[in-house]
Chains A and B, each alone.
Chain A
Amino acid sequence: MFERLRSGERVGGESDTDLHRAALRGNGEAMATLYRRHGPLVYRFTLRMSQNPSIAEEVTQEVFLALLRHTDRFDPSRSALSTWLCSIARNQLSKYFERNMRYQSVDEDEETFDPPSFEDSPALWLTRKEVVEAVRQGIDTLPVPLKEVLLLCEFEDMTYEQAAYILNVPIGTIRSRLHRAKLRLQPLLRPVATVTGKESPR
């Protein structure tokens, strides 16, 4: 996956580093190319994490402005530009969450996750479409540390190494958080098993 992302950086004939240098010299087209190349990734990540389009737009803009302002912080030998941009986006989001007291830690033993209950109306969840919707809502209600790992590793196809760089945690933490996130989502699939009469093994 790392290789896939890196090879994707040369789409358009110019590397991210060349485009970055050109953008720093005032080349607007280079900046536009960088945004078209990495803007969706940053925007998707921030939109999923904040669940607020206006916040996602603001953070995305701040991330790309950081590319122009903090020219010495991006080191191409350490990370791909997409990874670096995601780490900036994550930091910006963390600041936002801290300001709004929404950031939750999952390091405590007692976790406060309450998945939607399907006991009252199992017929409502018969179709797979509804299960998908339930999982989507379940992802949105995950604690932030689990949610960001799931987004990066499952939705953005990033490697554990990339996710560890972005989140600034060890790779083992990424593995455990991803595992815990999936464990929390699994109860949402129970209606499918119930309808088909094949309960999942515990």
Chain B
Amino acid sequence: MKHPENELDRVLYQLRREHQSIEAPSFLEESLVQKARLNAGSNKSLRWSWTREWAWGLGFVLLAIASTVTWWLSIHASSHPSQQIVAHPVPAALTPVIEQAATTSRSVPQGQTGARQITQTSSKPRRPAVQRPQAGDSLVATTSFLPLPVSEGLPEPLQQSVVRTRILTSSLSQYGLDVPASLQPQFVSAEFLVGEDGLPRAIRFVQ
């Protein structure tokens, strides 16, 4: 006699053998092999897309760093007003004009050629546009002080001031300097030697 539960186990064992004799369809194997080979290509494109994402991310990070540095530099620069002066090189076409002015006019005393050697005694309030040379100023004089032709005949000043400004090359003619008509108008940085009467006596170009 067999216990029904044992009989069930026997039947299940028979069905298990029958079940495990079932084979998977072979045509699926070929299909999967082809899909695996094709999938390798899509995996490559996936890796490339990841590379692109990394490149974009890196680009954004670099852009953020560059923006931060630029912002910091602008903030830092604004804390030093003297560096706001933009120096422009003296146009090459002006050099012969200046040289000519230097040879035809009187010479400036040697002791008055440096801005830092001039005693400031004027108590008048200065215009906002006027910039004065300061210690640590990065601008460098490219010429010595050249007497202005328009200052001929003026009395010798007792006290002089140096006034730095940016001026159009076309405006130099009003000081008696001969500016070629072919020269394109542009701003140059210059320092004027101004007497106590407010009239300019000499000019030099800075860079």
What is the interface of chain A, defined by CB distance below 8 A to chain B?
A: 23-32, 35-36, 39-40, 42-44, 47-48, 57, 60-61, 64-65, 68-69, 128, 131-132, 135-136, 139, 151, 154-157, 182, 185-186, 189-190, 192-193, 196, 198, 200
CB distance from B126 to the nearest CB of A (A): 72
What is the interface of chain B, defined by CB distance below 8 A to chain A?
A: 1-5, 7-8, 11-12, 14-16, 19-20, 22-25, 28-29, 31-37, 39-41, 43
5 A-B pairs within 8 Å (CB atoms) are namely A26-B39, A29-B33, A36-B29, A136-B15, A193-B4
Q: Which of B12, B19, B25 is in CB contact (< 8 Å) with A48?
A: B19
Determine the chain A residues whose CB is within 8 A of the CB of B36 once the complex forms. 23-24, 26-28, 30-31, 68
CB distance from B39 to the nearest CB of A (A): 5
Q: Which of A43, A135, A157, A198 is in CB contact (< 8 Å) with B8?
A: A135
CB distance from B22 to the nearest CB of A (A): 5
- How many angstroms between the C-alpha atoms of A64 and B36 in the bound complex? 10
- How many angstroms between the C-alpha atoms of A76 and B70 in the bound complex? 50
- How many angstroms between the C-alpha atoms of A35 and B34 in the bound complex? 13
**Extra contacts besides A131-B7, A151-B19, A186-B4 (9): CB < 8 Å:** A24-B39, A36-B29, A40-B24, A44-B24, A64-B28, A132-B15, A154-B12, A156-B20, A182-B5
Residue pair B29, A189 in contact (C-beta under 8 Å):
no
Determine the chain B residues whose CB is within 8 A of the CB of A196 once the complex forms. 1
Determine the chain B residues whose CB is within 8 A of the CB of A25 once the complex forms. 40, 43
Determine the chain A residues whose CB is within 8 A of the CB of B39 once the complex forms. 24, 26, 68-69
- How many angstroms between the C-alpha atoms of A36 and B30 in the bound complex? 11
- How many angstroms between the C-alpha atoms of A192 and B36 in the bound complex? 51
Top 5 closest pairs, chain A to chain B, by CB: A26-B40, A39-B24, A200-B4, A28-B33, A31-B36
Q: Give the residue name and chain of the A residue nearest to B28 (CB).
A: A61
Q: Give the residue name and chain of the B residue nearest to A69 (CB).
A: B39
- How many angstroms between the C-alpha atoms of A32 and B36 in the bound complex? 9
CB distance from B114 to the nearest CB of A (A): 74
Determine the chain B residues whose CB is within 8 A of the CB of A32 once the complex forms. 29, 32-33
CB distance from A93 to the nearest CB of B (A): 16
- How many angstroms between the C-alpha atoms of A38 and B34 in the bound complex? 18
- How many angstroms between the C-alpha atoms of A151 and B19 in the bound complex? 9
Residue pair A28, B4 in contact (C-beta under 8 Å):
no
Residue pair A186, B8 in contact (C-beta under 8 Å):
yes
- How many angstroms between the C-alpha atoms of A64 and B43 in the bound complex? 16
